């Protein structure tokens, strides 16, 4: 049995307030049929996936529209593996366009906290097992040259996986730029072959209480400062840009990438959602539906596709 055999394709007429709720983990709508939608569609809490062009009738109502590199079977398999996380993802993304950045980060952190306590995330933590001794602590280099603040992720042997010292360093660097308006440009880059593979996996599960974890994010998440300097922030990406690395980069007003760069949000397979500001930043940069497609599919996006989507602004041979 394939994923599509377990997921129901429905008419848009299904999405009205009097419809009996289904128990499927996902519903699919064939937008190419051109069916009329209710005046005020009421979507279920599960993901609603559209098939067809982005300008089709009612396309704006679905959570994501299938396009390369994400295939329908891949998206459905991901959703069915972690249906609770997928449901929270789309419900969060539906409300984010109505919120400002600060409120959006609060909503994202609360949604993330909900999933931290879920059976799906606990299953992933149990499956990963003990990781052994933590790798060497990361470091963020900060240097001011005239009116430019240069911020560099310096943990190349770990592909710049962002650990607690690096998060603190990023927060402090962005806070400096936020309070000092004489800094006209902030450039974020990284040493090594990768921009960042995301959060350090060794730190997952170290704070088991979701409310405490939310409190920590509320006080220390670099995104809280990045949003204040977004108009002055430029990010230069080489190689992998995944997880929290991508989430943070997406706040920038300008992203420059190398031709071999790639982008990915793997959090759904971990039973969680992007919790470093990515649901907010990606929704603002590429729209709610493509943000959902990135999260629900977990697929890598090439530099060329990222340019077409507006995820990056320019491709250069040497972004460093």
- Nearest residue to 210 via CA among 153, 275, 154, 165: 275
Classify residue 183 by burial, with Cβ atoms within 10 Å: 0-12, 13-18, 19+: middle
Output the six-digit token pair for 267: 């959090």
- How much is the pLDDT for 3? 46
Domain range list for the chain: 3-114, 135-267+300-315
- How much is the pLDDT for 2? 46
Rounded to an integer, what distance in angstroms lies between the CA atom of residue 296 and that of residue 28?
A: 14
Classify residue 80 by burial, with Cβ atoms within 10 Å: 0-12, 13-18, 19+: middle
Q: Render pLDDT for 247-297 as a digit per residue (tens, 0 to 9).
A: 999 999 999 999 999 999 999 999 999 999 999 999 999 999 999 999 999
Q: Using CA of residue 177, residue 178, residue 182, residue 184, what is the dihedral sign?
A: positive
Q: pLDDT band for position 100 (50/70/90)?
A: very high
pLDDT at 22 over 80: no
**Which three-class secondary structure state does DSSP give residue 49?**
strand
- How much is the pLDDT for 7? 66
Q: Which homologous superfamily does the CATH classification assign to the domain defined by 135-267+300-315?
A: 2-enoyl-CoA Hydratase; Chain A, domain 1 (3.90.226.10)
- Provide the whole-model pTM: 0.94
């Amino acid at each position: 049995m394939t994923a599509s055999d377990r997921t129901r394709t429905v008419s848009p007429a299904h999405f009205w307030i009097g419809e009996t709720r289904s128990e499927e983990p996902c519903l699919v709508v064939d937008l190419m049929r051109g069916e009329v939608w209710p005046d005020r569609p009421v979507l279920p809490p599960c993901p609603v996936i559209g098939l067809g062009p982005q300008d089709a009738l009612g396309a704006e109502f679905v959570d994501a529209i299938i396009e390369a590199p994400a295939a329908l079977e891949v998206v459905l398999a991901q959703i069915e593996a972690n249906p609770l996380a997928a449901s929270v993802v789309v419900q969060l993304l539906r409300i984010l366009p109505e919120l400002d950045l600060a409120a959006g980060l609060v909503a994202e952190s609360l949604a993330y906290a909900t999933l931290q306590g879920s059976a799906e995330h606990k299953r992933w933590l149990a499956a990963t097992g003990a990781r052994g001794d933590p790798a060497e602590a990361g470091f963020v280099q900060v240097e001011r040259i005239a009116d430019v603040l240069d911020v560099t992720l310096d943990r190349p042997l770990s592909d710049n996986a962002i650990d607690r010292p690096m998060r603190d360093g990023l927060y402090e660097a962005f806070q400096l730029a936020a309070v000092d308006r004489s800094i006209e440009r902030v450039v974020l880059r990284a040493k090594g072959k990768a921009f960042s593979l995301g959060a350090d996996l060794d730190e997952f599960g170290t704070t088991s209480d979701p409310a405490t974890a939310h409190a920590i994010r509320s006080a220390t998440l670099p995104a809280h400062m990045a949003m204040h300097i977004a108009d002055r922030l430029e990010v230069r990406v080489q190689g992998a840009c995944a997880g929290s690395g991508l989430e943070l980069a997406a706040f920038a007003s300008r992203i420059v990438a190398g031709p071999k760069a790639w982008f990915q949000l793997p959090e759904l397979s971990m039973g969680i959602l992007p919790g470093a500001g990515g649901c907010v930043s990606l929704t603002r940069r590429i729209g709610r539906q493509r943000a959902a497609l990135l999260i629900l599919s977990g697929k890598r996006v090439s530099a060329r596709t990222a340019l077409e989507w507006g995820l990056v602004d320019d491709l250069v041979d040497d972004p460093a």
